[in-house]
Structure 1
Amino acid sequence: MTSRFAATVVGAGPAGLATVGNLLAQRVSPVLWVDPLFSSGRLNQSYREVPSNTKVSLFVDFARAVKPFRDVIDSTPAPNAITRLLQLDQNQHCTLANAADMCQTLTDGLVKRDDVAKAVTTVNAANWTNGAWQLTLDDKTSKNNQYSSSLLVLCTGAHPKSIKLPQPTSIKDIHLDVALTPTKLQSAISQSEPATVAVIGSSHSAILAILNLYNLATTSHPKLRIKWFSRSPLLYAVPQGDWILYDNTGLKGLAATWARDHLEHDTLQSSKASRYIEKVSLSERESFTASPVLSQCSHIVQAIGYAPNPLPNLTFDGALLPTPPAHDPHSGAFNDRDGRPVPGLYGAGIAWPESVTDPAGNVESAVGLFKFMRFLRRVVPEWSKTLN
């Protein structure tokens, strides 16, 4: 027997959470929500110790953005994750643990609703046929793993990208998630033996990884040194009144402050950081893998962006859709091989972000909790119209 839903949301990270909240706000129900963990995604699992590049007030705005969220807040005894956010300076940044706890509180509240079905598993396959998505879940605990849904929203997240090093190599990989978590990073490198860590990139994540390594080098790991491989100058977010130049690509918060003070060309050499950090400048077309300096390193951290996580097997009347399907970053829809919209299929979050153009003409991908929310508040009403 097939269970029928108005919408299915795949993924319970911040974007999946915001999608479910907006669907319910548009009275789209019942909703099938699928995730193997329901623990607020990589934000909660890997980035709790990361300093935010978002002000506290925007996390609060996310929590209050839709009525289903506000209903959860009203029914959750204080103190809770939202009241703790309210106690912080709203114009300052905070650790992402505060945002992760807020997302987990909202998630726990939404799955208690009668119009939300929680499926702790993964979607193996989805086929559009007879006007709906026929879903096959990896559900070994239930006799029923067949579900039908008019809308299918992919909030499947992303993972750090990496480039395979030329073999053979003795260089040890430090996963970016570990490099961004000081309590894990300190045990990934020996305190007693010399270590030289290559950090690849000039992104927000790269700077935070360098900062975490520098903090170890100046405290518990005195034999630690850092080779920073970069091919582009540091870029900073610049407030412009009612908008922010390089809002999605520029450094913010602690990363921006520390980079200005220690990593710029005119500050690195005069900074204490120069005792521990050496910048390795790469040309535009030069790969770090070809640099002779890499052979001097014992470890490597790659902060070179994120790649979408694997998707379910997607078919349209049995015909395989492109992998991944072409995404429209303005509507959230997907297109088939002929450029036609795939009915009822949408994406959101870090894997499928909105494309935005600032007043200066810069085109960026809008990544961040409140940016996901702002996008979904705009497009979910349009998605829901297809159900009428």
Structure 2
Amino acid sequence: MTPQSCAAVVVGAGPAGIAVMGNLLELGLNKIAWVDPSFDGGRVNRKYREVPSNTKVLFFQAFATGTQPFRRIIRSTPLPNAFSTLMKLDQDQTCSLHYAADMCRALTDGLLKMDAVVQVRGEVVSADLDDTTSQPQWTVHIRRQGTSNDQTATSIITPRLILCTGSDPTTPSIPIDADKLSRLDLDTVLQPSTLYHTLPRTEPLTIAVVGGSHSAVLALMNLYELARATHPQLRIKWFTRHALRYAEYRNDEHGAWILRDNTGLKGQAAEFAWAQLEDDKLPQSDAGRFIQKIPISESDEMDLYAEHLPQCTHIVHAIGFTRSPLPTLTIAGDRTKPIQDQLQWDSSVGGFLLPCGKDTAMVVPGLHGAGIAFPERVRDPFGNVEWAVGFFKFMKFLRRVCPMWV
């Protein structure tokens, strides 16, 4: 089968993939292949609908109206809809992520109706770069899922391949040998309705929670709610390396900005941590009836695990996210030298570098990325460097870099 040609191939239909589509369409690309197994709003919709956001509603609104194609979708969607529901919320407060997930699904439905969008339901398994021509081209191979159980392969030739492939919760090995210690998936702990049915209500349970940032505090909050309401025999051992850190809203000589914007606690997580988990409050707080904090450091970490984990029935790691595996990427058909694990992310242009010698690297033509796997590197007025992760942050980043791609 002869490969079809497209102006771009966008891999992934979560918030970043949606934002990429909106920006490329606004810039005038008229045949964009969009590849995803399900087109259902991504991990936010599948896994995190019950999670309280750390983003104000007004920033979800700014994402939804961030491109002309998005605004056209909003105007053409019958009322009531996900967009009108967002508008009714307090714009200066956070909200449950199901509102943002519904917005993503509505934008996806609208994008897929556009003539310039080629929907490909499947998974990119590999892509090869031909860099011998005046305009380098990628040949993208897709394992396509049809209407039956049969799977067919599709190939697309394009000068632009954009990876919005997402990330998964980081799951290191359990730190000690413990036959009776079961791993509890972070995604499960972040879904109270699922967590309720996962943990037995009539058995003694001790959950080890490892981590000290946003997802760890949300895990502690959800487990605490179960312990105080429906699982009276549930107890929590909380292993953390650092004190709780909060986002701080500032207005000074640098203007209005947020210290620890991407790493500090916000919203409900911040409120719960400040009221219940601080060292001077935990011993007397209601959460302290169920949560035992165990400060750890590199020097004593393994000793403390060895002391406490044998008393636990489950362990959940809430220590961040790791990029999901990328497709196999090659140059000039050389399958003996795949490059995907060697790539260096360059957020200044939203592209990738490939090391090719000591202290040297080549720009990989036509390969770009966005989203939680490939976010923008930002520096605050104090010089602190963070990775900017969030719906509106993705949009702001793409508004800057997409014109370079086109």
TM-score range, shorter chain: over 0.9
Q: Hey, what does 1:300 align to over in structure 2? A: 315
* Contact persistence 2:342–2:354 (CA under 8 A): no
Q: Could you tell me how far 1:290 is from its partner in structure 2?
A: 3.9
What are the equivalent positions in structure 2 for 1:106-255 lying under 5 Å apart?
Answer: 106-129=107-130, 130=133, 131-139=136-144, 141=146, 145-165=154-174, 166-241=176-251, 242-255=256-269
> What is residue 312 of structure 1 aligned with on the other side?
327
**What displacement does 1:168 show?**
4.7
Q: CA deviation at 1:284?
A: 3.6
Q: TM-score, normalised by structure 1?
A: 0.96
What amino acid sits opposite 1:310 in the alignment?
Answer: P
2:76 is matched with which residue?
75
Aligned residue-pair number: 384
Q: Evaluate the alpha carbon distance shift between residue 5 and residue 287 of structure 1 in structure 2; reply closer, same or farther with a 3 A threshold.
A: farther
Kept after mapping to 1: 8 A contact 2:121/2:145? no
Give yes or no for contact 1:322–1:337 (8 Å, CA) kept in 2.
Answer: no
Partner secondary structure for residue 190 of structure 1: coil
Deviation at 1:143, TM superposition (A): 6.2
Aligned residues of 1:2 and 1:144 also touching (Cα < 8 A)? no
**Root mean square deviation, CA, Å:** 1.3
- Residue 140 of structure 1, CA deviation: 5.6
Q: Which runs of 4+ in 1 moved over 6 A?
A: none
Residue of structure 1 in register with 2:295 after alignment: 281
What's the offset of the Cα at 1:144? Answer: 6.1
Judge conservation of contact 2:343–2:352 (CA < 8 Å) in 1.
yes
Q: Which residue in 2 is equivalent to 1:354?
A: 376
Q: How far, CA to CA, are the matches of 2:289 and 2:209 in structure 1?
A: 16
How big is the shift at 1:381?
Answer: 0.5
User: What do the CA deviations read for 1:264-319 (whole angstroms, capped 9, x no partner)?
Assistant: 10010121221100001101454468441111110111101101111111011124
Mapped to 2, the partners of 1:75 and 1:67 lie a distance apart of: 12
TM-score with structure 2 length normalisation?
0.92
Output the amino acid matched with 1:77. P
Change (3 A) 1:140 1:194: closer
Point out where structure 2 has 5 or more consecutive residues left out of the alignment.
Answer: none
User: Residue type of the partner of 1:352?
Assistant: F
CA gap 1:216/1:14 in 2 versus in 1, 3 angstroms: same
Amino acid at match of 1:133: W
Is 1:5 the counterpart of 2:6 in the alignment? yes
Question: In structure 2, what is the Cα distance between the partners aligned to 1:238 and 1:140?
Answer: 47
Q: Report SS of the residue matched to 1:125.
A: strand
For residues 113 and 286 of structure 1, what CA distance do their matches in structure 2 show?
A: 57
Q: Distance in 2 between matches of 1:322 and 1:21?
A: 26
Secondary structure at 2:383's aligned position in 1?
Answer: coil
Q: Which residue of 2 aligns with 1:377?
A: 399
Alpha-carbon offset, residue 330 of structure 1? 2.1
For structure 1, which runs of at least 5 residues remain unmatched after alignment? none
